[in-house]
């Protein structure tokens, strides 16, 4: 399987399951967002709109944390991957995420 970076990536069953969970969360958020848009267009009560908005936001946050958590596990469990990321960063090339980049991504969701 090819990743966004264009490198070959063979995913473990655990990684595939994690991706499926993230996709399911995003689909749920998509449905919640569609319902939110419908509520706003219909002039629903403010309380109902804010409740639905909170649900969408929470679903997106959980998906983001799951993505970052998965990337952190990959880096921690695979020191060679982390070394390759550090080497790519040092040479100015784009490689796997470094721990510093993961930390920054995590904090953007906090």
C-alpha separations of 35 from 30, 42, 46, 57 in Å: 9, 10, 14, 13
The number of beta carbons lying within 10 Å of the beta carbon of residue 94 is: 10
pLDDT in tens, 13-51: 888 888 899 999 999 999 999 999 999 999 999 999 999
In angstroms, the Cα distances linking 93 to 16, 34, 49 are: 27, 39, 44
Three-state DSSP class for residue 98: coil
At 100, the pLDDT band (50, 70, 90 cuts) reads confident
Helices (H), the chain: 13-42, 46-77, 79-90, 99-109
Output the pTM of the full model: 0.63
pLDDT tens for each residue of 41-82 = 999 999 999 999 999 998 998 888 888 887 777 666 666 666
**How crowded is residue 32: how many other Cβ atoms within 10 Å of its Cβ?**
19
pLDDT of 7 over the 70 cut? no
């Amino acid at each position: 399987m090819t990743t966004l970076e264009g490198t070959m990536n063979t995913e473990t069953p655990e990684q595939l399951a994690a991706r499926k969970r993230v996709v399911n969360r995003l689909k749920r958020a998509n449905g919640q967002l569609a319902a939110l848009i419908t509520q706003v267009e219909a002039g629903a009560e403010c309380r109902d709109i804010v409740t639905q908005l909170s649900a969408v936001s929470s679903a997106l946050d959980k998906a983001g944390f799951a993505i970052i958590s998965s990337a952190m596990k990959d880096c921690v469990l695979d020191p060679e991957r982390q070394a390759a990321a550090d080497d790519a960063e040092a040479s100015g090339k784009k490689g796997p995420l470094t721990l510093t980049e993961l930390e920054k991504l995590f904090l953007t969701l906090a």
